[in-house]
Each structure stands twice: as C-alpha cells, then as structure tokens.
Amino acid sequence: MKIDYLDKISGALFGGACGDTLGHPFEGFLREKIYSNFTNFKLFVRENRRLFNTYTDDTQLTLHTAEALIHGGGFDTKFFISEYVKWLDEPPIGPGYGCLTSIRKLKYGLHWEEAASNSGGNGTAMRVAPIGLFYCKDIERLKKFALKSSIITHSHPAASAGAIVIARAVAFLVEKDPRKSFSSEEFFKIIISSISDSKEAIWKEFIDILLKVKENLNIPIEAGLIKFSQIGVKSPYFIEEYLGKAFVHPYTLSTVACAIFLFLNNLGSFEDCIYELATAGGDSDTVGAIGGSLAGAYFGYKNIPSELVKLVKNNKKILQISRELYSRFAEKYSSF
Ligand SMILES: [Mg+2]
C-alpha cells in the first residue's frame, strides 16, 4: 500500500485531540462511574456534547511540538523552548505540575538542565506524537529527539522512556494499512527495542511492564485497567484510595501502559478505540490523547468520523498545522 502521509499526520493530531476532548470532562473519575451512565459510544457523545467543548494541555503542547518542528525544519532545542513558553500565555488548560514549573523557569531564562523538573509525569509522552510522525523514516533521530524533547522539561527517566516509546509506536503505526491488521508481537518488539540500549533501571522496569501488557492483551478491559492503572508507581506516590480500581495514575509508565493496552484491544474502528481510551478513568484526557494519537496514526484522518472532527476546538487550525508538518516532512524525506 502507498501510504498517504498527510492523512496519517492529520489522523495522529486529530486522534490525540479527540481523545483529549472526550476524556477531559471525565478526568478524575473512576471508570466504573463513567461507564454506569453510558451503554455505547453514540450515547456517550450525544449526552455529553456540551461538555466536549475543549481539549487540554495535552493537545496544546502537541500542537506546539508540531509548530517547533515546522519552524525549525526538524528538532532544534531553541524552537521547542520558545514554543513551550508561548503555551504559558494561551493559557494552559489543566496543566500538570512538571510542565508548568519547568516551562515557567524556561521562560525566565534558566538553561533547560536547571529548569527541568524531576517529574516522572506523563507530560512529555502526551506531546511527543509529532516527533514520531516527522521522524518516521529516521528512527535513530526519532529516538534521539524524543529523548531531547522530554529532558528539556522532565529530567526523570520514566518521562523520557515513555516519550521514546510513544514516538516509536506512532512511527510504526504510520506505516500500517488500517484495512489490514498488524502483528502485536512486532509492535512490542519494535517499541521495546527503542529503549533497550540503556542501563537506566527505570527503562528496564518499563520494558518489563510492556511485556506484562503484551502477556495480558486478552484479559477484559476493566481487569487490564485495574492491573495497569498504577503500575510502576512508587511509594509514596500511589493514589491509595484507587488501588485495585480502574483509575489511571498520571505517572508516565502507568499512563502509557494503559493507553497501549486499550489501543491494542480496540482495533475494530477509531470510534471503538477512542471510546475506551477517553473513559479509562483517572487521567482520562491524557490516556485519550496518547492512545488517540496511536489510533489516529493507524486509522488515518479519513477514518475519523467528521462528527468527531467537528467536535474538536480549533479543528481548522489543527488541519493547517497538519498540512505544514506534512510539507516539512515531505521536503526532508522527498523520496517518500
Ligand atoms: Mg490534560
């Protein structure tokens, strides 16, 4: 199949924005509470239409990542810093502590090595999809720049491992034909190999977690979410009252594990996938954004129902950014 890269790039950006928009009203809810009100996706969208009025920090920062790649013609630290600093004036919608504190320090001129917070939060995995898209033909640069894009705000190794894995997963899915299935065995092999060359203990721990997700792909959704909602989280950061519940912790390893588990279990259609992601419970908007970017990279823009595209705030601007990112990509990798 000849890949339509513009369709895949637009798909990944809109997929993330849809998941963020649909998950946002349910951030901080238990999955069982969300599910007790809806029996299917159509009802879920219809009944909550008025709540789906915005995306959040996940999409805001993803769009800034795309703009940084567009203006820099690829990764360049100074464009990334200036784009993330611009986000502070938007203003940020539902930001995480790690992003906010580090980017404020960047704004006041601190070098990124001093500004970066030691947060293992999911704030860098949630914004990394454009790096996976732009460098899908150059995996060495993809890994290098996914890492760099993460450490300028989060010095914790969990954040960088999550960012690399999501960027690599996006690049893998861009090349796949959504009319055919792909091997989950190959998917895990590829994403695990992207972080297997490090002595970092947390990267190794993340590989074990990803292997656990792979072994448990056939268990029921609720059971999987209970298993992975707080996986990798260390004391005293557990959310004690939600242990044993489907309530995704905003730690990178647990969020990425849940997003991948849900994505791989719902490959029937974009709608099936986004429904499960946005109703994950806990950090629903970020599970929606990360998993949605995977779903969009796989299914492509043309398989996202127009009704969902219309729900996304600033959809014309997102389409424009998708086109510009595609143009930059095509300039650089013109043989594709
Ligand atoms: Mg958010």
Q: What is the 3-state secondary structure (H, E, C) of the chain?
A: CCCCHHHHHHHHHHHHHHHHHHHHHHCCCCHHHHHCCCCCHHHHHHHHHHHCCCCCHHHHHHHHHHHHHHHHCCCCHHHHHHHHHHHCCCCCCCCCHHHHHHHHHHHCCCCHHHHCECCCECCCHHHCHHHHHHCCCCHHHHHHHHHHHHHCCECCHHHHHHHHHHHHHHHHHHCCCCCCCCCHHHHHHHHHHCCCCCCCHHHHHHHHHHHHHHHCCCCCHHHHHHHHCCCCCCCCCCCHHHCCCCCECCEHHHHHHHHHHHHHHCCCCHHHHHHHHHCCCECHHHHHHHHHHHHHHHHCHHHCCHHHHHHCCCHHHHHHHHHHHHHHHHHHCCCC
- pLDDT at position 226 is 97
pLDDT at residue 335 in the model = 63
**255, 291 Cβ separation under 8 angstroms:** no
- CA of 52 from ligand 1 middle (Å) equals 13
99: CA distance to ligand 1 center in Å?
Answer: 11
CA 169 to chain centre: 10
**Ligand 1 center to 20 CA (angstroms):** 7
CB-based contacts of 51, cutoff 8 Å, min separation 6: 24, 25
Percent of the chain's residues with pLDDT above 90: 95
Measured in angstroms, how far is the CA atom of residue 239 from the centroid of ligand 1?
18
Q: What is the pLDDT of residue 236?
A: 85
What's CA 333's distance to the chain center, in Å?
24
CA of 61 to the centre of ligand 1 (A): 10
CA of 57 to the centre of ligand 1 (A): 5
Domains and CATH numbers, the chain: 5-330 (1.10.4080.10)
Measured CA to CA, the distance from residue 222 to residue 239 in angstroms comes to: 18
Q: What is the pLDDT of residues 259-304, one digit of tens each?
A: 999 999 999 999 999 999 999 999 999 999 999 999 999 999 999 9
Virtual torsion, Cα 145, 174, 249, 90, nearest 10 deg? 70
Separation of CA 314 and ligand 1 centre (Å) = 16
Residue 335 CA, ligand 1 centroid: distance in Å: 37
**Ligand 1 center–CA 264 separation, angstroms:** 22
How much is the pLDDT for 1?
Answer: 75
What is the model's pLDDT at position 190? 98
Residue 78 Cα to ligand 1 middle (Å) = 24
Question: Ligand 1: distance of its center to the CA of 334 in Å?
Answer: 35
Kindly report, residue by residue over 133-143, the tens digit of the pLDDT.
Answer: 999 999 999 99
Res. 334 pLDDT band, cuts 50 70 90:
confident
Q: Distance, CA 267 to ligand 1 centroid (Å)?
A: 24
Q: How far is the CA of 171 from the centre of ligand 1 (A)?
A: 23
pLDDT at 90 over 70: yes
How much distance in Å is there from the Cα of 253 to the middle of ligand 1?
Answer: 16
| Ligand 1: centre distance to CA 26 (Å) | 11
pLDDT on residue 288: 98
Half-sphere exposure of 201 (CA within 13 A, CB side): 1
Residue 295 to residue 147: CA distance in whole angstroms: 22
Ligand 1 geometric centre to CA of 226 (Å): 21
Q: How far is the CA of 46 from the centre of ligand 1 (A)?
A: 22
| Digit-coded pLDDT (tens) for 168-185 | 999 999 999 999 999 999
Give me ligand 1 centre to Cα 336, in Å: 34
Would you tell me how many other CB atoms lie within 10 Å of the CB of residue 39?
Answer: 9
Query: Tens digit of pLDDT for each residue in 110-140?
Result: 999 999 999 999 999 999 999 999 999 999 9
pLDDT at 57: 98
What's the per-residue H, E or C state across 224-240? HHHHHCCCCCCCCCCCH
Q: How far is the CA of 179 from the centre of ligand 1 (A)?
A: 31
336 has a pLDDT exceeding 60 = no
Q: Please provide residue 29's backbone torsions phi and psi, each rounded to the nearest 5 degrees.
A: -100, 150
- Cα(283) to centroid of ligand 1, in Å? 8
Measure 55 CA to ligand 1 centroid, in angstroms.
Answer: 8
How far away, in angstroms, is 332 Cα from ligand 1 center?
A: 31
Closest CA to 227 of 218, 15, 235: 218
Distances (CA, A) of 121 to 29, 110, 190: 18, 21, 23
Gap from CA of 210 to ligand 1 centroid (Å)? 23
